Structure 1
Amino acid sequence: MFQTFDVSSTPEQGPARLSALRPELKDIGVDGFLVPRADVHQGEYVAPRDARLEWLTGFSGSAGFCAVLPDVAGMFIDGRYRLQVRSQVADVFTPVHWPEVQLGDWLRENAAAKAVIGFDPWLHTVADIDAHREALSDTQITLAPIANAVDQIWTDQPPAPMAPFTAHPLQLSGEEHARKRARLAKDLKADACILTLPDSIAWLLNIRGTDIKRNPVPHAFAILEKSGRVALFARAGKADAIAEHLGADVQVHGWDAFDGYVAALKGSVQIDPKSCPYAIKPLITNAKLIEAADPCSLPKACKNPVEIQGSRDAHIRDAVAMVRFLAWVDAEAPSGNLTEIDVVKSLEGFRRDTNALRDISFETISGAGPNGAIVHYRVSEDSNREVKTGELLLVDSGGQYQDGTTDITRTMIVGEPSDEHRVCYTRVLRGMIAVSMARFPKGVAGSHLDALARTPLWQAGQDYDHGTGHGVGSYLSVHEGPQGISRRATTPLEAGMILSNEPGYYREGAFGIRIENLIVVKQASPLPGADARDMLDFETLTHVPLDRRLIIADELSDAERDWIDQYHADTLRLLADRIDSTTKDWLIAACAPL
């Protein structure tokens, strides 16, 4: 099981920890140090042992980094976290709007002319370091790989996770790992390929782990050879229980054997510069280095029929829990006795009642009133707020089931909504429907569809500072690439890709609105008289009612109203026989035609 350790830093602790780090940097002989939210595997989420950024600064978001200099420490965060960072870090850390401000530009302004900036080469990708060095190429500021300076002062750093790996059964994966290995090996650009992303290794070998909280992935490295054989590197004992599952063509090695094994590779070796730790590159001394995309990334994203059916099943199960929860909120919230933490605990309880929940898929976001405007808000005992009448409640949550991963956001009103609540909610809903109804030719990427979700908001001079959608794994990470729906999502969408569809609107100090369903890309049915070209569209996986009290029907087109009514009719059909009579009465009312 995943062990929990307290690695956070309160705003009061941050200054002392920063003060302890600076003399350490001076002793090492560098003028600064980069502290990313990353581990050696370069996945999105980290174990407590690797939560260096949170320990140093107090910032608990899923993306960002700190650049520590002698007189300033820049806290680089994107649009999702600009409210959150204010409450989590002390004023000795200066928030920097990233990616609008790049590290190179910031160092030009804040670092000494000949500063040497240290970085842990295991915690930064090849692409990141190359980009930073290119940005500083016309300066005398240099980046130097060093041992991790935070580890030197973090005296009670948690141990590495040691739980054993498990096999993911064929009836859920839909493809034997021997076939996956052979299929991918044929298309390698080199004689061998180094894999470091936990979800890639989990998918390729049909294994799972508990090394990352909320994400069933294993901490391991792997090398896929052109023959289809794999060398798997893991800490002692972690792969013992899956030896029979792995078979003779997957050879397990100790964690400490990785560096020497890579150094001995001959011929050519493929790495993905966007995910490969910088430290691995200089280990490749006897082989030709080839840079190419992680070969697991795209095949993993394109779910097979078994995985898609598993996701459908998981979403129906999850919808039952969500409907019971929403009915409970409607019954209990008007009393004025609910808090955000009550909401989180109750929702997880309804999911556990399914008897199939392995874990929640991320920390539940439960934001009442102004807390809903904090995009990735995480309630704590200090921030816990009452759910008040007349306010919006935003709940973003998900479950990890062995047959699928879910992610859903619903925004609901307690009591009577204001006109502004309804106007903004309807705009967000129209954007979500626009993506849901999209029909597009092959070759279209998420960047092309992003504007569909934003148009109703743009027309009112509004927007949101996060992507419209991210990829979702199959009992894997709730955030999965390379697919997405955002300005930066350039990978063409393909059948089988699962994505979130989650436009929003946030008014600081007042309320937040987000509506999220998961959708899967599928081959579109031909239309009479249409050109004979391949077209794609979406199937909606999530079936949970929208809050009809917040919808202004007169602002919707006929097609939008029809979509909502059909969505609610499908929801009622799928769930009515799976819930108790009281919840069913609530569901019938919630799914009534507009």
Structure 2
Amino acid sequence: MAEETLAALRSLMASHSPPLDALVVPSEDYHQSEYVSARDKRREFVSGFSGSAGLALITSNEALLWTDGRYFLQAEQQLSSQWKLMRMGEDPTVDIWMADNLSSEAAIGVDPWCISVDTANKWEQAFAKKQQKLIQTTTNLVDEVWTSRPPPETNPVIVHPLEFAGRSVEDKLKDLREKLNQEKARAIIVTTLDEVAWLYNVRGSDVSYNPVVHAYAIVTSDSAFFYVDKKKMSSEASTYMEKNGIEVRDYSAVNSDAALLATDQLASTYSKTDSISTGPVGDNPRQEDSTNNLVWIDPATCCFALYTKLNLDKVLQQSSPLALAKALKNPIEMEGLKNAHIRDGAAVVQYLVWLDKQMQEIYGAPGYFVDGEVNKKDQLRSTKLTELSVSDKLEEFRASKEHFRGLSFPTISSVGPNGAIIHYSPEPETCAELDPNSMYLFDSGAQYLDGTTDITRTVHFGKPSSHEKESYTAVLKGHIGLGNARFPNGTTGHVLDILARLPLWKDGLDYRHGTGHGIGSYLNVHEGPHQISFRPAARNVPLQPSMTVTDEPGYYEDGNFGIRLENVLIVKEADTRFNFGDRGYLSFEHITWAPYQRKLIDVSLLVPEEIDWLNNYHSKCREILGSYLNSSEKEWLKKATEPIGT
């Protein structure tokens, strides 16, 4: 099938005007999303690689797939012999590879809706030295050969209640318009799905695991537009939009409206400026400053197609103000996130109790608490546990909790060698059976109306080796070290990333992924603009109070095991003894509650401060989760969180 697909694409490339020497197939959709709907998984369709990050390049005689360190093992397993894996961070980047390996004046095709302004500009600079050209295809060539492409989603737009959103659309639009005025902009095009959902307080189900709707927004000093398939709009949603002065237009109309915006001819059929002030400008709060003539786009997320519709001399290319506003949780969102994580922690504990019992009964494992040999059973088992069947059970426990709306990403349920595949996703036909003699890693999360969760724990139900214990303890030390950090205002996640790695580096170990990402409020599980990572982008945005961020160091040994520990943290002001430079200091508050497995910890490697933190955290787990558990579950948790001695 892959061979036929490549042949069909190469035929279209040859007949294209001009003929294409190469075709780029990005992972992203028209909104530059990390996670995309089934019909937008074009890169997966052409390559067979299902990871969330990557880019495919097809030439007349080669097919290459770029992806990052999270997916090296997975890509090796999924790519056919016709594809060559290009490892990000080790091999040349795609633009450098094209500039060096394609002929002079080569024509390189891409769907301009699936590539950001930043990426397109970067590539065009790389191509200039050999007069190579980036060609915007008028149709997506992959769509032309993808005969079984899934149909468009027609899921309803859901109004997100103020009791969970915490701030009204009116307030959010007012703040946004003040930002526009400050930057001398008369309008902004919002292309990122979670930003549109957050701004208008709506949710949807167009992308699996992400409660968003395929939509754009344009906001001017006196009008607001929502571009969506109108079949998705219920009478309630339509009334809600009208009440908030938001005009609903067809999804595809954003293309022509961007051109109208460029010439300042975009007009709303009604205006709500009487109820939605643009903020003070001169004597008249609704008067637009005559110098405000820019259209704001975020070049990292706005697609190249919309950018080319604008007057390029009047474009403000700057990070979206909504990204930071969304990341700074309001008090209602903060409270909701904490409550969601408590219910989620209870579900994880219930899962561990169930799994511990099953491993003992089915496999003769000594269990979660006992560091001993497996009591091998020779008879054929009437039942067995697989990576997929146990992850389904975890979902059952979550589904029983208040406000549950689904998972926040496909559960990573991985035993033994599969744990070393960082973003492993078990499949029904190929997933492994649980093994009491192997490490088991599960990274999972849920969407609740009041918050999004993400947690990882690694456990062993048999007798872990001393190497496994030492590795687990090094990861735990890094996890505690980052979580306990205090740091001055203005500090970025790029600076803090080292804290989680130091205990691993001490033994010459490391991991190939970032250490932390923001998390949404019933939105995407990965949320910027901040992050904790070695990657340069982590330098861009300092951590600020009321941001959420994960703390998830790991260690992965190919062909053997994987270890990761993950909690969600909230950034808060720190009460320090001194305040050097009057900068103010920050710290973290853990809001994830589930035990770390004591038998995997080599206590001799912990310092007293780490032991105190661990015992205090476990005490809080008992206190916070107790009311959600039955008597046997409470007893299990009590045993799982017994104090660790020196």
Residue in 2 that maps onto 1:279 = 305
Residue in 2 that maps onto 1:223 = 218
Counterpart code for 1:450: D
2: distance between equivalents of 1:289 and 1:256? 21
1: distance between equivalents of 2:157 and 2:520? 18
Deviation at 1:248, TM superposition (A): 4.6
Deviation at 1:532, TM superposition (A): 4.8
Q: How does 1:131-280 map to 2 (within 5 A)?
A: 131-146=122-137, 147-188=139-180, 189=183, 190-227=185-222, 229-240=223-234, 241-246=236-241, 247-265=243-261, 266=264, 267-280=293-306
2: distance between equivalents of 1:530 and 1:137? 49
Residue deviations 1:228-265, cap 9 Å, x none? Answer: x3111111232343123222521111123222211112
Quick check: 2:226–2:249 contact (8 Å CA) kept in 1?
Answer: yes
Deviation at 1:583, TM superposition (A): 0.9
Deviation at 1:528, TM superposition (A): 6.5
Tell me which moved more, 469-478 or 524-533. 524-533
Could you tell me which of 589, 597, 601 is aligned with 1:551? 601
Residue deviations 1:136-186, cap 9 Å, x none? Answer: 221232211112110111112112111111111111111111001101110
1: distance between equivalents of 2:196 and 2:295? 17
Residue in 2 that maps onto 1:8 = none
Matched, 1:306 2:306: no
Matched, 1:25 2:72: no
Does the residue aligned with 1:283 lie in a helix, a strand or coil?
Answer: coil
1: distance between equivalents of 2:312 and 2:512? 45
Residue deviations 1:385-422, cap 9 Å, x none? Answer: 11112210000000000000000000000211110110
Runs of 4 or more, structure 1, over 4 Å off, are: 528-532
Q: How does 1:74-85 map to 2 (within 5 A)?
A: 74-85=64-75
Residue in 2 that maps onto 1:587 = 637
2: distance between equivalents of 1:256 and 1:374? 39
Q: What TM-score, normalized to structure 2? A: 0.88
Could you tell me which of 444, 447, 457 is aligned with 2:494? 447
Tell me which moved more, 248-257 or 482-491. 248-257
Question: Kindly tell me: are residues 202 and 64 of structure 1, through their superposed partners in 2, closer, same or farther at Cα, counting changes over 3 Å?
Answer: same
Counterpart code for 2:321: P
Question: Kindly tell me: are residues 309 and 139 of structure 1, through their superposed partners in 2, closer, same or farther at Cα, counting changes over 3 Å?
Answer: same
Give unmatched runs, 5+ long, in structure 1. 1-12
Residue in 1 that maps onto 2:120 = 129
Does the residue aligned with 1:138 lie in a helix, a strand or coil?
Answer: helix
Residue in 2 that maps onto 1:90 = 80
Percent of aligned pairs sharing the same letter: 40
1: distance between equivalents of 2:172 and 2:100? 49
Residue deviations 1:422-462, cap 9 Å, x none? Answer: 00000000000011101111100100100000000111111
1: distance between equivalents of 2:530 and 2:113? 26
Tell me which moved more, 381-390 or 484-493. 381-390
2: distance between equivalents of 1:286 and 1:298? 25
Does the residue aligned with 1:242 lie in a helix, a strand or coil?
Answer: helix
Residue in 1 that maps onto 2:512 = 465
2: distance between equivalents of 1:19 and 1:591? 58
Quick check: 1:503–1:516 contact (8 Å CA) kept in 2?
Answer: yes
Matched, 1:15 2:8: no
Question: Kindly tell me: are residues 99 and 195 of structure 1, through their superposed partners in 2, closer, same or farther at Cα, counting changes over 3 Å?
Answer: farther
Residue in 2 that maps onto 1:56 = 46
2: distance between equivalents of 1:526 and 1:455? 24
Does the residue aligned with 2:520 lie in a helix, a strand or coil?
Answer: coil
Deviation at 1:530, TM superposition (A): 7.1
Deviation at 1:286, TM superposition (A): 9.1
Matched, 1:570 2:620: yes
Matched, 1:429 2:424: no
Quick check: 1:73–1:93 contact (8 Å CA) kept in 2?
Answer: yes
Could you tell me which of 325, 339, 343 is aligned with 2:386? 339
Question: Kindly tell me: are residues 35 and 568 of structure 1, through their superposed partners in 2, closer, same or farther at Cα, counting changes over 3 Å?
Answer: same
Deviation at 1:345, TM superposition (A): 0.9
Question: Kindly tell me: are residues 307 and 248 of structure 1, through their superposed partners in 2, closer, same or farther at Cα, counting changes over 3 Å?
Answer: closer
Counterpart code for 1:115: A
1: distance between equivalents of 2:142 and 2:582? 59
Matched, 1:294 2:320: yes
2: distance between equivalents of 1:563 and 1:191? 51
Residue in 2 that maps onto 1:487 = 534
Q: How does 1:412-427 map to 2 (within 5 A)?
A: 412-427=459-474
- The count of corresponding residues between Structure 1 and Structure 2 is 581
1: distance between equivalents of 2:469 and 2:244? 60
Does the residue aligned with 2:218 lie in a helix, a strand or coil?
Answer: strand
1: distance between equivalents of 2:307 and 2:579? 54
1: distance between equivalents of 2:56 and 2:254? 29
Does the residue aligned with 2:75 lie in a helix, a strand or coil?
Answer: helix
Residue deviations 1:17-65, cap 9 Å, x none? Answer: 1122111111111111000111111121111111101111111111111
Deviation at 1:364, TM superposition (A): 0.2
For the aligned residues, what is the CA RMSD?
A: 1.4
Quick check: 1:15–1:90 contact (8 Å CA) kept in 2?
Answer: no
Question: Kindly tell me: are residues 291 and 529 of structure 1, through their superposed partners in 2, closer, same or farther at Cα, counting changes over 3 Å?
Answer: closer
Does the residue aligned with 1:518 lie in a helix, a strand or coil?
Answer: strand
2: distance between equivalents of 1:381 and 1:176? 43
Residue in 2 that maps onto 1:377 = 424
Deviation at 1:114, TM superposition (A): 2.9
Quick check: 1:322–1:347 contact (8 Å CA) kept in 2?
Answer: yes
Tell me which moved more, 560-569 or 217-226. 217-226
1: distance between equivalents of 2:100 and 2:313? 40
1: distance between equivalents of 2:75 and 2:158? 37
Counterpart code for 1:225: T
2: distance between equivalents of 1:420 and 1:452? 22
Q: How does 1:492-503 map to 2 (within 5 A)?
A: 492-503=542-553
The structure having more radius of gyration, on CA atoms, is 2
Tell me which moved more, 316-325 or 242-251. 242-251
2: distance between equivalents of 1:561 and 1:285? 60
Matched, 1:397 2:444: yes
Residue deviations 1:319-368, cap 9 Å, x none? Answer: 11100001111111242332111211111111112243101000000110
1: distance between equivalents of 2:260 and 2:402? 48
2: distance between equivalents of 1:138 and 1:561? 58
Question: Kindly tell me: are residues 458 and 286 of structure 1, through their superposed partners in 2, closer, same or farther at Cα, counting changes over 3 Å?
Answer: closer
Counterpart code for 1:19: A
Quick check: 1:395–1:409 contact (8 Å CA) kept in 2?
Answer: yes
Quick check: 1:468–1:501 contact (8 Å CA) kept in 2?
Answer: yes
Tell me which moved more, 36-45 or 245-254. 245-254
2: distance between equivalents of 1:286 and 1:119? 20
Quick check: 2:258–2:309 contact (8 Å CA) kept in 1?
Answer: yes
